[in-house]
Amino acid sequence: MTWLITGGAGFIGAHVVRSMLAVGERVAVYDDFSTGDPARVPGGVTVVKGSVLDGALLRATLSDLGVDGVVHLAAKKQVGESVERPLYYYRENVQGLHTLLEAAADTGVRHFLFSSSAAVYGMPDVDLVTEDTPCAPVNPYGETKLAGEWLVRAAGRAHGMTTACLRYFNVAGAANEDLADTGVFNLVPMVFEKMTQGSAPVIFGDDYDTPDGTCVRDFIHVEDIASAHLAAARALPGRKPGSDLTVNIGRGEGVSVREMITLIGEVTGYGSAAAPVSAPRRIGDPARVVASADRIRAELGWTARHSPHAMVESAWAGWCARRPSARWAVEATE
């Protein structure tokens, strides 16, 4: 089989590419490089530069490469930006997915794996979020992911494609320094940035109904995200045409924002220099979002392997590889 991985030069996509290559799967990468880095793609892998809005190029790529399955990770994913630019997010994430699915149906692709998000759940008031928890996204980004799931399932049923929608939670870590996240949009790199600039990390809201008053999240190592994509991709060919598998990808364990910041201080050596300051709550932040990982374990035999400590340690190594002065700053705090 040949898999086309859209967004395969991105942070998560590059890990998926490496994971699939490691077990002998044939892969090709399709990426517009708006955020992806060509250097992340291993040598020998076919790379096509293009937008998911370019139907003609997608059809040619799928046909010329004899693609059997698609792993679709290419998307815009910043919540705040989605609120400011909803039309842009719907065009890129929903219209782009529509264009890709249409090309896949026209060229006989049999399997389609969609990268979704826990953002589809919105603000669930439950201890563990199952796949049956009602979906009620609270921002355009989450809305585009939920609409994407509907579109993927409908296209799969109509065209006989087996499909999977993977809802993953808070991603961190790196397989190696070369694949580390270069963005500063998630909690771990945001804390790194504050610390290395000599500023205090910020906690948005310390009065939630949680053990320490801060939000609780399910942090998942990007290598575990990649292995879950691999497990789903390898399972799809054995499933009934037109069927769908929707699963959470998480550890099933919550870590509070304050606990994560404390861990970051310990792992990096910043210690008390990483002590956070509190700011008012942000609109739309739920108190607790932790995955139930029972279904993916039952359906795919998959379980997360990496601890929060491993996530922070590997993410910090990648951060310092790009910013050597970060380690020097640690010495100044000792």
User: pLDDT digit string (tens) for 238-262?
Assistant: 999 999 999 999 999 999 999 999 9
Shared domain check, 158 and 208: no
Structure tokens at 159: 């065209």
The C-alpha angle 147, 118, 3, rounded to 5 degrees, equals 70
The verdict on whether 141 is a catalytic residue reads yes
Q: Is the dihedral of CA 132, 135, 141, 143 positive or negative?
A: positive
- CATH number of the domain bearing residue 76: 3.40.50.720
Residue 129 gets which letter from DSSP? B
Shared domain for 239 and 329, answered yes or no, is no
The answer on pLDDT for 327 being more than 70 is no
Please answer whether residues 59 and 107 qualify as being in contact, where contact means their C-beta atoms are separated by less than 8 angstroms: yes
pLDDT over threshold 90, residue 183:
no
The stretch 94-98 carries a mean pLDDT of 98
Lowest-pLDDT choice from 159-163, 182-186, 251-255 = 182-186
Active-site annotation holder among 30, 121, 141, 208: 141
Domain assignment of residue 204, given as a range: 177-217+252-333
pLDDT tens sequence across 103-120: 999 999 999 999 999 999
The reply to whether 203 and 226 lie within a common domain is no
Residue 288 three-state SS: strand
18 & 107 share domain: yes
Rounded to a whole number of angstroms, the distance between the first and last alpha carbons of the chain is 53
Question: Which tens digits make up the pLDDT trace of 310-322?
Answer: 999 999 999 998 8
114 lies in the same domain as 202: no
Question: Bigger pLDDT: 288 or 333?
Answer: 288
Q: What is the C-alpha separation between 23 and 21, in angstroms, rounded?
A: 5
Q: Domain end: 229, 249, 269, which one? A: 249
How confident is the model at residue 216, as a pLDDT? 97
CA distance 197 to 200: 9
| 258 and 129 in a common domain | no
Q: What is the CATH number of the domain that holds 212?
A: 3.90.25.10
Q: Do 49 and 197 lie in a common domain?
A: no
Please give the model's pTM, rounded to 2 decimal places: 0.94
Domain total for the chain? 2
Mean confidence (pLDDT) of the chain: 94
Q: Is the pLDDT of residue 324 over 80?
A: no
């979020």: which residue's tokens? 129
